[in-house]
Amino acid sequence: LAERGIQCQSLNVSHAFHSRLMLPVLDSFREVCATVAFNKPHCGFISNTTGELMMEEVASAEYWARHMLAPVKFQVGIETLCKSYCDLVVEVGPHTVLSANVKLTVAALNNPDIELPVIASARRKRDGIDVFLHCLGECYGCGLPIDWDNLNRQWLSGESQPRYSRSLRLPNYPFQRQTFWFAESQPRERWDELQSHGNASGSMISGPLGQPLSLAAGNSLDYYQINVSNQHPSFLQDHQIFGEVVFPAAGFLDMLATAACSAQQVGDLLLSNVVIHRSCVLNDEAVVLQTVRHSDRVEIFLRQPHDLKWQLIVQGDYRFIDAEMLAENQPLLDTVEVATDDFYERLDRRGLNYGGMFRTVTRL
């Protein structure tokens, strides 16, 4: 079998069970089985002889006589188990004999929708109670309801096992929401102080836009490019949403404004029709942000690592106007000042995790 590329393993058993070599003892085994009172299974029973669900058929001496001769259809049985909406497997036995085979069989199905945790209830040369309690904990973690009160009352509190009935003191809840920020040995970079990321020349970048690009074929548009990750610029680590570092919208606005102002037109800048098409979640691998300035609009494109495609993620129109004329035409709005004592704590509870570099609001 090994020469034919078929994975196999020699079993350390006394007889060739589940094969025709057991025929000499078949009649004797059938007679012994006939003395046993069989009952119909109370739950789904997958037969090793067929790999399918069986009920009344297994409650007979004849079935178990055939079982001794028939090959074990383990793979078919596990496939049936998966089709039966089983979501957890607990191996009941003295050791993890079949757990690995179950995992290999499920993996061979190559179906991403099937997740089948396999938990052992006992392990060789391990304390039985320790392993069993660990098994219960894993089952509970998988969503299986456990009657802990009954367990403590009838077993763990017994005199035979007093070491498992001790109580643990847990922290008081809710936690006092007080932050403890690490003092940094060096201040984090600002946009206008950033060095070009991954550029051997070490030349200064143009604020949030990165390096200006000079195209070989020439172009009337202005291009800028910068690499960013969850580590660079380092202050981006202070802008997280549900634990993920996300490029801030204010950063995109800064990039739009900086690119527009590079046109060096007269007047005050007005950005309009700004659209953020998608968020920019950052990880260890740097992504590339490329900014393109047209005569009346700015576009920001994203390129993921190991990908040649550019995605438009932000765009906005711009023009330059007389700010005094604009202010005269704006209606006055009634405003009310609100307290900001726990402003960032409230945001934090909603999953908006702002660190020190982004905690700049003092009045609202």
pLDDT in tens, 114-142: 888 889 888 888 888 888 888 888 899 88
DSSP secondary structure of 35-52 = TS-----SS-EE-TTTSS
343: pLDDT strictly greater than 50:
yes
Cα distances from 92 to residues 135, 151, 308, in angstroms, run: 11, 19, 51
Q: Comparing 5-9, 68-72, 130-134, 204-208, which segment has the lowest mean pLDDT? A: 204-208
Domain extent listing, the chain: 20-164, 191-358
- For residue 310 the two structure tokens come to 């550019």
Instruction: Tell me if the pTM is above 0.95.
Output: no
CATH hierarchy code of domain 20-164: 3.40.366.10
At residue 348, φ and ψ (nearest 5 deg) are -60, -40
Assigned token pair, 337: 């000042």
Helices (H) and strands (E) in the chain, counts: 9, 14
Is 133 exposed, middle or buried, given 0-12, 13-18 or 19+ CB atoms closer than 10 A?
middle
How far apart CA 289 and CA 310 sit, in angstroms, is 9
Quick count: other Cβ atoms within 10 Å of Cβ 311? 13
**What is the pLDDT confidence band of residue 81, given thresholds at 50, 70 and 90?**
confident
Give the Cα separation of 104 and 116 in Å (integer): 11
Count, residues in the chain: 364
Interval 216-254: pLDDT, tens? 656 778 888 899 998 888 888 899 998 899 999 999 999
Buried b (16+ CB within 10 A) or exposed e, 112-126: eeeebbbbbbebeee
Q: Quick check: 202 pLDDT over 50?
A: no
Residue among 274, 305, 271, 270 at smallest CA distance from 288: 305
Backbone angles phi, psi at 233, to 5 degrees: -65, 150
Rounded CA separation 313/95 (Å): 54
Measured CA to CA in angstroms, residue 260 lies from 126, 218, 313, 316, 317 at distances of 69, 20, 17, 10, 9
C-beta separation of 360 from 343 below 8 A: no
For 25, 54, 338, the CA distances from 65, given in Å and listed in that order, are: 10, 16, 81
Reported as a single tens digit per residue, the pLDDT across 9-40 is 788 888 889 989 999 999 999 999 999 999 98
Looking at residue 167, what is its pLDDT?
Answer: 61
pLDDT at res. 278: 92
The stretch 322-344 carries a mean pLDDT of: 74
Q: Which two tokens stand for residue 223?
A: 């291009």
Options 3.10.129.110, 3.40.50.720, 3.40.50.10360, 3.40.50.970; CATH for 191-358 is: 3.10.129.110
Is a pLDDT exceeding 80 seen at residue 307? yes
> Residue 157 has what DSSP assignment?
T
Q: CA dist 292 to 125, 209, 233, 317, Å?
A: 66, 10, 21, 12
pLDDT at 93 over 80: yes
Q: How confident is the model at residue 199 (pLDDT cuts 50, 70, 90)?
A: very low
- pLDDT, greater one: 177 or 108: 108
